[in-house]
Amino acid sequence: MTQAKKTTTPLEDKNVKELKAGDSVLITGYIYTGRDAAHKRLIELIKKGRELPIEIKGQIIYYVGPTPAKPGYPCGSAGPTTSYRMDPYTPTLLDRGLKGMIGKGLRSQEVIESMKKNKAVYFGAVGGAAALIARSIKSSEVIAYPDLGAEAIHRYYVENFPAIVVIDAAGNNLYETEPPKYKQS
Amino acid sequence: MREIKANQIKEKVKELFLQANYHIDQDLTQCLQKALKEETSPIGQSILRMIIKNNQIASSEEIAICQDTGLAILFIELGQAVSIMNGNFIQAVNQGVQEAYQEGYLRKSVVDDPVFERKNTKTNTPAIIYTDIIPGDKIKFTVMPKGFGSENMSALAMLKPADGPEGIVNFIIETVRKAGPNPCPPTIIGVGIGGTADKAMVIAKKAIVRKIGEHNQNEQYATMEKEILEKINRLGIGPAGLGGKTTCLAVNIDYLPTHIAGMPVAINVCCHAARHAEGTL
């Protein structure tokens, strides 16, 4: 594989444009966590016209529900969860300025269209590599919905978080382009 | 009768869930290393390297391999000559699960009501417990923390007897193809054929814990396992679904007698973090 690209958060349109499907990246900066229950709450707030507990403009949301941290560790094991469960909520967040998502697995066509429209990027992290990924998470704090436990919105400071650009802002999608290269009839 | 105290059951269950969540079996590690040597996709290779490294970190630091520490599944073989003393069997098992998840820094992933409240029970219980009563005076536990990324990709087909082995092969390939990257490939595919709809799925799940490289003792089923594994690995899905020849590490089929009118086929998918542990009291 080619050398990993260093990427920092928050993301701007010009950073997003440089990220191409297939790029290996190391992300540094603050990222936010959120999965099923937190997404549901964020969307309910948007529907009611209320303010969100986090400013999502330019940010990356990592789909993760970590294990509790062992004493001495900033964070527990924290690998990605399957992204399609967030698909119904994602276009609304992209319209509000969300620039990146880290997860694993397929996205819906609606999400991909919204990513193209809003210039956003979908990073894949390796599912099940939770102990390894956690090493790049240097701090963790709960920002919203502490009652959700592992599903609360956390803010992580990450250094060289390993990910791959799976779907870029032009809609290039590794899940579509890579497997056919290795398919044998 | 042999007396076994409820507290011993609790302690054994706790020990096994901790072990399963921190340490991947040697057979799986070797299989991943072999896959790394054979994988031709550069992205696939880098993912397999990360998985192997991850499992080493988890084991040496005793932290969870995957953040989805799963629903707690137990297959228990309870000897009929065992008398359980000073407590309740099911409570003891659940207590063991609760202590493992609370004291072992494992994620609690159980919600009480699946549809409306979805409130976390905060104990990772109740466990899913299957108990077989067998001859003897021992209790054998097979525990499996089962993540839901892969569980959600499970499937059941009530095939017609006329669909034959070909119908089974096609159903399995199609299920794996549709699941794509979602169940965290390379996967282990448990298949249960026969019995009833429910029983087929239980044996499919239990088939996942089989040692990698072992096959069904019935040669026809063993041949089918090998054929399906080869076909899956020709799909090109690859590690993490990003392309490659390592999509599946093992296809394990178990079968049971069934009704003259049916041929149930259940598929239970397991991610590469195929965690399980066995122990006997």
pLDDT in tens, B217-251: 999 999 999 999 999 999 999 999 999 999 999 99
- Give the sign of the dihedral formed by CA A24, CA A84, CA B63, CA B18: negative
- Listed by number, the residues of chain B in 213-252 with a beta carbon closer than 8 Å to a beta carbon of chain A are 234-238, 240-245
Band the pLDDT of A149: cuts 50, 70, 90. Answer: confident
pLDDT on residue A87: 97
Band the pLDDT of A150: cuts 50, 70, 90. Answer: confident
Q: Which residues of A touch B47 (CB under 8 A)?
A: 126
Q: What percent of chain B has pLDDT over 90?
A: 99
Q: Which of A1, A79, A182 is closest, CB to CB, to B66?
A: A79
Structure-token match 């989805």, residue found: B68
Say how many CB pairs under 8 Å bridge A and B: 164
Q: Which residues of B touch A145 (CB under 8 A)?
A: none
As a whole number, mean pLDDT of residues A37-57 equals: 94
Using CA atoms, how far apart are residues A37 and B63, in angstroms rounded to an integer?
Answer: 25
As a whole number, mean pLDDT of residues B180-204 equals: 97
| Closest alpha carbon within chain A to B244 | A182
The alpha carbon of residue B140 is apart from the nearest alpha carbon of chain A, in Å, by: 28
- Cβ–Cβ of A128/B152 closer than 8 Å? no
For residue B30, count other CB atoms closer than 10 A to its CB.
12
Mean of per-residue pLDDT scores for chain B: 97
- Cβ–Cβ of B271/A65 closer than 8 Å? no
Q: Is A39 considered catalytic here?
A: yes
Q: What percent of chain B has pLDDT over 70?
A: 100
Provide the pairing of β-strand A121-124 with A100-103.
parallel
Using CA atoms, how far apart are residues B212 and A90, in angstroms rounded to an integer?
Answer: 39
pLDDT on residue B152: 95
Q: Which residues of B touch A126 (CB under 8 A)?
A: 47, 50-51, 54, 240
Beta-bridge partner residues of A6: A26
- Cβ–Cβ of B273/A128 closer than 8 Å? yes
Band the pLDDT of A185: cuts 50, 70, 90. Answer: confident
Q: For residue range B93-110, list pLDDT tens digits in order.
A: 999 999 999 999 999 999
The alpha carbon of residue B135 is apart from the nearest alpha carbon of chain A, in Å, by: 39
- Cβ–Cβ of A129/B51 closer than 8 Å? yes
The alpha carbon of residue A172 is apart from the nearest alpha carbon of chain B, in Å, by: 13
- Cβ–Cβ of A66/B107 closer than 8 Å? yes
Q: Choosing from A39, A99, A104, A119, which is the catalytic residue?
A: A39
Using CA atoms, how far apart are residues B21 and B99, in angstroms rounded to an integer?
Answer: 13
Band the pLDDT of A2: cuts 50, 70, 90. Answer: low
Q: What percent of chain A has pLDDT over 90?
A: 95
Establish whether this prediction's ipTM goes over 0.85.
yes
- Cβ–Cβ of A106/B181 closer than 8 Å? yes
Q: Does B64 touch chain A (CB under 8 A)?
A: yes
Q: What is the dihedral of CA B196, B198, B202, B208, to 10 degrees?
A: 80
Q: Which residues of B touch A147 (CB under 8 A)?
A: none
Domains recognised in chain A with CATH numbers: 27-162 (3.20.130.10)
DSSP conformation letters of chain B: -EEEEHHHHHHHHHHHHHHHHH---HHHHHHHHHHHHH---HHHHHHHHHHHHHHHHHHHHT--SSS---EEEEEEEEETTEEEESS-HHHHHHHHHHHHHHHTT-----BSSTTTT--B-SS--S-EEEEEEESSS-EEEEEEEE-HHHHTT-EEEEE-GGGHHHHHHHHHHHHHHHHTTTT-SSEEEEEEEEE-HHHHHHHHHHHTTSPTT---SSHHHHHHHHHHHHHHHTS---GGGSSSS-SEEEEEEEEEEE-TT-EEEEEEEE-S----EEEE-
pLDDT on residue B99: 98
CB-based contacts of B224-231 (< 8 A; 24+ apart in sequence):
B224/B165, B224/B168, B224/B169, B224/B253, B225/B250, B225/B251, B225/B252, B225/B253, B226/B251, B227/B169, B228/B169, B228/B172, B228/B173, B228/B189, B228/B191, B231/B169, B231/B173
Q: Is the pLDDT of residue A34 over 60?
A: yes
pLDDT on residue A3: 80
Q: For residue range B5-36, list pLDDT tens digits in order.
A: 999 999 999 999 999 999 999 999 999 999 99
Q: Which residues of B touch A65 (CB under 8 A)?
A: 67-68, 107, 109
Q: Which of B57, B107, B237 is closest, CB to CB, to A179?
A: B237
As a whole number, mean pLDDT of residues A87-108 equals: 96
As a whole number, mean pLDDT of residues A41-54 equals: 94
Q: Which of B53, B68, B120 is closest, CB to CB, to A81?
A: B68
pLDDT on residue B135: 97
Q: Is the pLDDT of residue A78 over 80?
A: yes
Provide the pairing of β-strand B187-195 with B263-270.
antiparallel
Using CA atoms, how far apart are residues B261 and A68, in angstroms rounded to an integer?
Answer: 49
- Cβ–Cβ of B105/A166 closer than 8 Å? no
Mean of per-residue pLDDT scores for chain A: 95
- Cβ–Cβ of B109/A65 closer than 8 Å? yes
The alpha carbon of residue B102 is apart from the nearest alpha carbon of chain A, in Å, by: 9
Using CA atoms, how far apart are residues A4 and A163, in angstroms rounded to an integer?
Answer: 9
- Cβ–Cβ of B241/A185 closer than 8 Å? no
As a whole number, mean pLDDT of residues A85-109 equals: 96
Residue A47: helix, strand or coil by DSSP?
helix
**Residue B242 contacts residue A124 (beta carbons within 8 Å):** yes
Q: Look at A4-8, B11-15, B159-163, B249-253 and tell me which has the smallest mean pLDDT.
A: A4-8
As a whole number, mean pLDDT of residues A139-156 equals: 93
The alpha carbon of residue A101 is apart from the nearest alpha carbon of chain B, in Å, by: 16
The alpha carbon of residue A25 is apart from the nearest alpha carbon of chain B, in Å, by: 12
As a whole number, mean pLDDT of residues B189-201 equals: 98
Residue A112: helix, strand or coil by DSSP?
helix
Q: Is the pLDDT of residue A1 over 80?
A: no
As a whole number, mean pLDDT of residues A9-36 equals: 95
Q: For residue range B140-159, list pLDDT tens digits in order.
A: 999 999 999 999 999 999 99
As a whole number, mean pLDDT of residues B108-120 equals: 93
- Cβ–Cβ of B236/A182 closer than 8 Å? yes
DSSP conformation letters of B68-126: ---EEEEEEEEETTEEEESS-HHHHHHHHHHHHHHHTT-----BSSTTTT--B-SS--S
Q: For residue range B65-89, list pLDDT tens digits in order.
A: 999 999 999 999 999 999 999 999 9
Strands in B248-258's sheet, in edge-to-edge order, are: B155-159, B263-270, B187-195, B248-258
Q: Which residues of A touch B66 (CB under 8 A)?
A: 77, 79, 127-128, 130
